Amino acid sequence: MLTFILRRGLQMIPVLLGVTVATFGLGQIIPGDQATALLGPTSSEEDRAALRADLGLDEPAVSRYFTYLGNLFSGDLGRSLSFGRPVSEVLSERLLNTLLLSGTAIVVAAVLGVAIGTWAAQKPGSVRDRGLTVGVLFLNSVPSFWLGLVLIVVFSLQLRILPATGMTSIAGGGALDTAAHMVLPVITLAAWSLAVIARMTRSAVLEVIDNDYVQTARSRGIGEFHVVVRHVLPNAMPSVVTVIGLQAGFLLSGTVLTETVFSWPGVGLALQQAISSRDIPLVQGGILVIAVAFVLINMLVDVAQAYFNPKIKLA
Amino acid sequence: MNVLDVAHLEVTHPGHDHDSSLTTVRDVSFRVAAGESLGVVGESGSGKSQTMLAVLGMLGRAGATVSGRVTFDGTDLTALTQKQLRGIRGSGIGLVSQDALSALNPAMSIGKQMAEPLIRYDGHNRRTAADRCAELLQLVGIPAARERLRAYPHQLSGGMRQRVLIAMAISREPKLLIADEPTTALDVSIQSQVLRLIDRLRRELDMALVLITHDLGVVAGVTDRIAVMYGGMIVETASTAELFDAPGHPYTRALMQSVPRMDRKPGDRLPAIPGLPPHPSAPPPGCAFQPRCTLARDECGDSVPLLAEPDPARAGHLVRCPVTAPVPAEGART
């Protein structure tokens, strides 16, 4: 297992390099001039040229890429133009908030999705199974920003039981206060993924549940709960884990919308602000962080696959 | 003392509407005495496996209705809840199913699979369960048993997997072992080894055995009695020697003729039974075998024949055929 993880880890290196090329290239193709964005439209051409030279923007793209890459290795993501602080600093204080939000959301989506999907698969065609199908269709048809706004209207503005925006109350508060602030954004983020995971789990469980080895487990007197947990789910997991991994990735990118709707101080909100103020170093940094997280999640998925399927691990 | 007593068992699967329900087992009755071995022979779709799954109470999930009485060791299984049935499965009745590759969980090492019910229900801890599993693997003739416990099913050969499955079935010392086509997925050379193993274990562990197969050659050496099934019904039952000596039902006779034999001349065609077995959705009227039977008469289509004892001198030899075994005036049995 350890060699598998190491081997898989080495395979990440070229992918990560590709990611840096992409984020760097993105900075190049975004229309607009950084110097103009910084100095404003009324600035003189000389001032802008001086700033470009100052920022190194007048050098050829290839050499700027290697400077960028070199800086990355030393943890330098450049300087945010709008915050006037290092991008790494801006992002690192927000990354934890984003991970808290998206991590909770994916755990909620995975646990509930697997549980609901498995539960529905116990009786295909039953009321609960049809209910699942309808629920999945509904949740997958609802755009997350709309769901977020509706939740705010209902729970914050009308029922007044949950806070609508931010991460803590103005007066400050402990973990419980933060948890209350998390409820609506987590629901918003998790809804889509939960539906996808539940549907995938349902079909994966149905595929496995009539297998001979499930029958064998039953014939040996093992209770239905343990039959499902020990014999059905582990064999249904490979396809479910793939979907959970994909959803975790989508969820990270989904934080841009959700964090904007709920003013959650995370990477997504920073990214949204950076894009509207043409803060290209911050955009690059934000996308890099999300892309690296995506790659890491994919690696975790592969490790999980190997855990559930001994044939992969030993191959 | 009968370990298993099945009386008038019927299994019906609901269809999409009332007309399309399938009756896969029809009025099946048989008994297995303690330590006895019974062979159940029939082709695919004759209801043999359905009968055994019904005995274990494992057809409920599929929505099938089971009627009749199944008495195991003095307990009426049809009256038990699923939870109570679970206490019988594995510990009272062990099941060996046919395809050992698909019957083992591919994601779990065989040691873990074997140990699971021992730890969960029989009060073993990890270590004693591992000891017991290694001992069981040794008993079924798997060398280097300790190391094998860590192996996954795909790392074992077909014969080895079948042995593991047998070891699992006997791990909780059941009184009755049901082996459902245990040799079908195996090479011929391994088949006889596995059969001898099952036979040996039955004697050593003093279990009763129900051996389900479509191959008369398989049951010949290891069973005391044979029940032949066709179209969801038992059409003949007799002691093994008796059945091979004087097969009564035309279907049994036809089956025997279609067993390949060494003493046939090369180039001879193997006799086959013409036609197809009946589909449970459309059973033929009267005797289920009548459309394919060479001895069929007009009255064979009138009503389902009774299981009768054609020759009082051969007690316990029952045949369901009015032609070869006309029901005697008195002493008719069902």
Task: Write phi, then psi, for B176 (nearest 5 degrees).
Answer: -135, 130
Q: Which has the closest alpha carbon to B2: B32, B38, B39, B36?
A: B32
CA distance B59 to B208: 23
Instruction: Identify whether the C-beta of residue B51 lies closer than 8 Å to the C-beta of residue B227.
Output: no
Strands (E), B214-325: 225-230, 233-239, 318-319
Query: Of the ranges A138-147, A203-212, B52-61, B299-308, which is most confident?
Result: A203-212
Same domain, A64 and A193: no
- Residue A81 falls inside a structural domain: no
**Contact criterion met (CB < 8 Å) for A219 and B95:** yes
Alpha carbons A198 and A248: distance in angstroms, whole number = 14
Find chain B residues with C-beta within 8 A of A310's C-beta.
106-107, 109, 152, 154
Residue A100: other Cβ atoms inside 10 A: 16
Identify which of B82, B104, B121 has the shortest CB distance to residue A213: B104
Task: Say yes or no to pLDDT of B202 above 50.
Answer: yes
Q: How many domains is chain A partitioned into structurally?
A: 2
| Residue B11: φ, ψ to 5° | -125, 125
Examine the domain organization and report whether A113 and A214 are in the same domain.
Answer: yes
Q: How confident is the model at residue A273 (pLDDT cuts 50, 70, 90)?
A: confident
Asked if the structure places residue A79 within a domain, the reply is no
Mean pLDDT of A103-115: 93
Instruction: Taking residues B70-91, report their average pLDDT.
Output: 88
Query: Which of A73, A107, A126 is the last residue before a domain boundary?
Result: A73
Out of A96-110, A267-281, B213-227, B268-282, least confident range: B268-282
* A223 CB within 8 Å of a chain B CB: yes
Interface of B with A in 34-73 (CB under 8 A): 56, 58
- Chain centroid to Cα B165, Å, comes to 16
Backbone angles phi, psi at A284, to 5 degrees: -60, -45
Confidence at residue B328, expressed as pLDDT on a 0 to 100 scale = 59
Residue B25: beta bridge partners? B11
Write out chain A residues lying below 8 Å of B108, CB-based: 230-231, 234
Beta-carbon pairs below 8 A across chains A and B: 81
Q: Residues A26-37: what's their mean pLDDT?
A: 72
Q: What is the CATH number of the domain that holds A99?
A: 1.10.3720.10
Higher pLDDT, A35 or B146: B146
Helix (H) or strand (E) holding B4: strand B2-13
**Do A46 and A161 fall into the same domain?**
no
Q: Do A253 and A107 have their domain in common?
A: yes
CATH architecture, range B2-231: 3-Layer(aba) Sandwich (3.40)
Is A119 in the same domain as A196?
yes
Regarding predicted confidence, which is higher, A26 or B177? Answer: B177
Mean pLDDT estimate for chain A: 84
List residues bridging with B22 in a β-sheet.
B13
What pLDDT band is residue A171 in, cutting at 50, 70 and 90? low
At A159 the pLDDT is 85
Beta bridge partner(s), residue B75 = B72
Confidence of residue A157 (pLDDT cuts 50, 70, 90): confident
Q: Does A218 fall in a domain?
A: yes
State yes or no: pLDDT of B332 exceeds 90.
Answer: no
The residue-averaged pLDDT of B18-46 equals 86
Q: Which residue has the tokens 């920073």?
A: A270
Is A253 within a domain?
yes
- Tell me: pLDDT of A114 over 90: yes
Say whether B82 and A226 touch across the interface (CB within 8 A): no
ipTM of this complex: 0.82
Whether A78 is in a domain gets the answer: no
For residue B83, which residues of chain A lie inside 8 Å, CB to CB?
Answer: 223
| pLDDT exceeds cutoff 60 at A110 | yes
Among chain A residues, the shortest Cα distance to B180 is held by A216
* For residues B241-263, average pLDDT: 85
Question: Are the Cβ atoms of A231 and B152 closer than 8 angstroms?
Answer: no
Is the pLDDT assigned to residue B330 strictly greater than 60?
Answer: no
Q: How far apart are CA A218 and CA B68, in angstroms?
A: 22
pLDDT at res. B334: 45
For residues B260 and A186, the model is more confident at A186
Does A86 score more than 70 pLDDT? Answer: yes
CA distance A307 to A107: 19
Residue A314 has what pLDDT? 56
| Rounded Cα distance, B187 and B184, in Å | 8
pLDDT value for A104: 92
- CA closest to B167 among chain A residues: A220
- Tens digit of each residue's pLDDT (9 = 90 or more) over A181-196: 888 889 988 998 999 9
The answer as to whether A195 is a domain residue is yes
Contact B95 A309 (CB under 8 A): no
* B210 reaches A (C-beta below 8 A): no
Could you tell me if B26 and B8 are in contact, meaning their C-beta atoms sit under 8 angstroms apart?
no
The verdict on B124 touching A (C-beta cutoff 8 Å) is no
Q: Is residue A80 part of a domain?
A: no
Q: In this complex, is the C-beta atom of A45 within 8 Å of any C-beta atom belonging to chain B?
A: no
Range of the domain at A33: 2-73
Which residue is listed with tokens 């709707």? A261
Q: Please tell me whether residues A66 and A95 are part of one structural domain.
A: no
Cα–Cα nearest to A180, from A169, A189, A192: A169
Q: Looking at residue B331, what is its pLDDT? A: 46
| Cross-chain residue pair B89–A218, CB shorter than 8 Å | yes
Kindly identify which residue of chain B lies nearest to residue A238, measuring between CA atoms: B107
Q: Smallest CA–CA separation between B56 and chain A, in Å? A: 7
Asked which of A15, A44, A73 is the last residue of a domain, the reply is A73
Residue A170, pLDDT score:
66
A59 inside 8 A of chain B by CB: no
Exposure b/e, A61-81, CB count within 10 A at least 16 = b: eeebbeebeeebeeeebbbbb
Interchain CB distance below 8 Å, A310 and B106:
yes
Task: For residue A130, give the 3-state DSSP assignment.
Answer: helix
pLDDT of residue A8: 82
Helix (H) or strand (E) holding A257: helix A233-262
Least confident of A33-37, A57-61, A206-210, A265-269: A33-37
Stretch B76-83: mean pLDDT: 87
Q: Which token pair is B173?
A: 């010392």
Show residues of chain B in contact with A220, CB under 8 Å: 89-90, 94-95, 116-117, 168-169, 172
Final residue in a domain of this structure, among A73, A104, A134: A73
Residue B117 is nearest to which of A213, A221, A314, comparing CB atoms? A221
Whether A82 is covered by a domain: the verdict is no
Are A178 and A68 members of one domain?
A: no
Distance between alpha carbon B225 and the CA centroid of its chain, in Å? 12
CB-CB neighbors (< 8 A) of A218 in chain B: 58, 89
B254 min Cα distance to partner chain A (Å): 32
The predicted model gives B278-296 an average pLDDT of 85
Q: For residue B333, what pLDDT is reported?
A: 46
Tell me the chain B residues in contact with residue A212 when contact means C-beta distances shorter than 8 Å.
Answer: 97, 99, 102-103
Report yes or no: B243 at the A interface, CB cutoff 8 Å: no
Q: Which residues of A touch B58 (CB under 8 A)?
A: 215, 218-219
Neighboring chain B residues of A221 at a CB cutoff of 8 Å = 86-91, 117, 121, 172
Determine the pLDDT at residue B17: 65
